[in-house]
Chain A
Amino acid sequence: QVQLVESGGGVVQPGRSLRLSCAASGFTFSSYGIHWVRQAPGKGLEWVAFISYDGTNKYYADSVKGRFTISRDNSKNTLSLQMNSLRAEDTAVYYCAKRDYYGAAPLDWGQGTLVTVSS
């Protein structure tokens, strides 16, 4: 079955960087686009970024554009999110989610990893 496992979360100071990873299994990783979605404590879901199946197309929410970079390694079935210049408002649980093949929406979700930006 589809499995997505996020890692790399933790506590980081404002202005510093952090790199999240998402390990995928149970499906042909190189055939699917993948989303990052986050959820601040007590808040709703926020779409963060998307990368196409082959990594050629990348899209970002305005709130993270220029600071976050999404990438993937299809040889290792892994997805990454490099987060630079972190702010307090980036504090959230970050989920990776496999996209619906024929549509656009996140379909299968990981369990998430918590990022806390605090001094």
Chain B
Amino acid sequence: QTVVTQEPSFSVSPGGTVTLTCGLSSGSVSTSYYPSWYQQTPGQAPRTLIYSTNTRSSGVPDRFSGSILGNKAALTITGAQADDECDYYCVLYMGSGISVFGGGTKLTVL
């Protein structure tokens, strides 16, 4: 069974840039997986940041961007702010109607 991998945790300094990745336990991520990214604060529903690799959801600031880097999908946050400190999830479409979420990355801004 294919596992979607994310860094369990990451740290960034205020104002800094961080790139979170979303990979596969076997194989490479491409646009055909429609990689998408979500931000979630405790007790809240997920908020869609990026879908279909690099399309920003409505209202999402351009500090957030999505791409394919090497064999993984990537979420880059520039000018990190204190309220960016939360959990980030990616999801990949595996085909045949099946989607799989990564385990999430806990981002710390300090």
Chain A residue with the shortest CB-CB distance to B44: A111
Contact with A105, one of B1, B40, B52, B102 (Cβ below 8 angstroms): B52
Given contacts A35-B99, A46-B101, A47-B101, contact A100 B38 (CB under 8 A): no
Q: Is the CB of A47 within 8 A of B91?
A: yes
Chain B residue with the shortest CB-CB distance to A112: B45
Q: Is the CB of B48 within 8 A of A110?
A: no
Q: Is the CB of A104 within 8 A of B48?
A: no
Residues of chain A lying within 8 A (CB to CB) of residue B99:
35, 47, 50, 104-106
Q: Does A57 contact B (CB under 8 A)?
A: yes
Residues of chain A lying within 8 A (CB to CB) of residue B91:
45, 47, 105-106
Q: Is the CB of B101 within 8 A of A44?
A: yes
CA distance A58 to B57 in the complex (A): 26
Chain A residue with the shortest CB-CB distance to B33: A104
Contact with B34, one of A35, A95, A100, A112 (Cβ below 8 angstroms): A100
Q: Is the CB of A110 within 8 A of B38?
A: no
Which residues 21-52 of A have a CB within 8 angstroms of B? 35, 37, 44-47, 50, 52
Q: Is the CB of A110 within 8 A of B104?
A: no
Given contacts A45-B46, A100-B51, contact A57 B101 (CB under 8 A): no
Given contacts A95-B45, A100-B34, A110-B45, contact A45 B52 (CB under 8 A): no
Q: Does A89 contact B (CB under 8 A)?
A: no
Which residues 46-79 of B have a CB within 8 angstroms of A? 46-48, 51-52, 57
Residues of chain B lying within 8 A (CB to CB) of residue A105:
34, 36, 48, 51-52, 91, 93, 99
Q: Is the CB of B52 within 8 A of A100?
A: yes
